[in-house]
Amino acid sequence: MKRLFSLILFGILSFALQGAVQAAENSTNEQAQAMVKKAIAYYKANGKEKTFAAVNDPAGPFNERDLYVVVYDLTGTVVAHGANKKLIGKNIIDLKDTDGVMIMKEQLAAGKGKNGGWVNYKWPHPLTKEMTQKSMYNEVIDDVMFACGVYK
């Protein structure tokens, strides 16, 4: 009986720790916003071509853990993507999540705000591939929008 209790307790603790470890892997809103600010500073110092190349580089400065920068033009076309190069050149203005959220339209509206803005929607987690709630920070500068999000 003691052994059974120990096994059950071990199982419960393992499950709880697994959740805590996965939560610890997820980045924070502050880290995502800082990543966008870092990409914008890089853009101001180095221009579009060099910045887009750095964003597209999976080993570059704008791709860490579950954080990656995406750059869009103001029509909703992906011009650089830190996690999925297949999206580059695609216009996703009409993209909806599983709940009907018009992702790009909402991101552009938020990004054009005075200090940028956040949009919540569902998206596959880059590490687990599970459909997950995501919160994306967006900021427009010149004729492009920089974005980076966190998985909840």
pTM: 0.81
Query: Which range of residues forms the domain containing residue 141?
Result: 28-151
- The reply to whether 111 falls in a domain is yes
Long-range contacts formed by 45-50: CB under 8 A, 24+ apart = 48/144
- Model confidence band, residue 4 (pLDDT cutoffs 50, 70, 90): very low
- The reply to whether 56 falls in a domain is yes
Q: What is the pLDDT of residue 9?
A: 34
- The reply to whether 37 falls in a domain is yes
What is the CATH number for 33? Answer: 3.30.450.20
- The reply to whether 47 falls in a domain is yes
The answer on pLDDT for 82 being more than 90 is yes
- The reply to whether 16 falls in a domain is no
Task: Provide the number of structural domains found in the chain.
Answer: 1
Indicate the pairing of strand 117-124 with strand 63-64: unpaired
For 6-28, b/e burial (b = at least 16 CB within 10 A) is eeeeeeeeeeeeeeeeeeeebbe
Cα-based torsion angle of the residue sequence 106, 107, 112, 116 in order, rounded to the nearest 10 degrees: 120
